[in-house]
Each structure stands twice: as C-alpha cells, then as structure tokens.
Structure 1
Amino acid sequence: EDDAELKAYDRAAMEEDGGDSVWQRGILMGERCQPPDFSGIILYDVKGNRVPQLPPGSSELNIFHASL
C-alpha cells in the first residue's frame, strides 16, 4: 500500500511540475543554501586550526588551495 501511495505521489508531483525529471529541475536556493562567500582559499595553521586570513609576512606560494 505504501508503495502505491508513493507512486501516486510521484505521478502527482510530475504532473504539477510539468513532468520534468529530477535532474532537469532547477535548484531552489534558500536561506541556508548559498554559494560560499570566500575566495576559495581555506587556511589552516600547523595544528590544523582554521585561520581567517593569510598571516602577515606569509607568502601565497606556501598556502594550499582547497580546489587543488
């Protein structure tokens, strides 16, 4: 019975949304779902604690980019 209800729900949802598959639907951006608001660089000290900014006198060549 639960399976039949789920299929009926899926059919109703598809009809309501125009029949698009899940992978074709747009992503809704809510308050908690925002792109990261940072430069893409995450800095940590030698003990593994996150550092908010590059320490003065440090070279950008010695930092690890999270995207690499």
Structure 2
Amino acid sequence: MFATREELQRRLIKLEANMPWLVKEYPDKAHFYPEFSSYADEITGKASPEDVEWATSELSRILIKFGVVDDFAP
C-alpha cells in the first residue's frame, strides 16, 4: 500500500528537520550519502508511481538547500 502525498510530505519535513544533524554527524560525503539514502529509500519506496518523481525532486531540493550538492538543474 502506498503512502498518501500528505504522509510523504510529513516524512520529507521530518527528514529536512534532521538534516542539520545528519550533515554534522556525517561530514564526509562517503558516509553521509548511505545514511541519507536509507531515509530517501524509505520515502520513495512508499510513494505511488505518480508521486515518486515529486518525492525525488523534494529530496534533491533538500540536498541542495543544505549544501550537500550544488544545484544541478540545467
């Protein structure tokens, strides 16, 4: 059963709130990405096919916001 967009949004908000801790706890990107990916996979794994692209876009936005990756938009 897929999560509703509202449920996904709550998970994304929680992940975004935890980003300062994650960035501080895992300053080496080689350690950060596996940790972040576990949260991201939990979110996208519960998304419907219609919401996967939206959730992935939100995850990218969070990474950019916290300076983990540069804005890679063309």
Higher RCO (Cα < 8 Å, 6 or more apart): 2
Higher strand share: 1
Calculate the TM-score normalised by the size of structure 2.
0.25
Larger Rg: 1
Calculate the TM-score normalised by the size of structure 1.
0.26
Higher helix share: 2
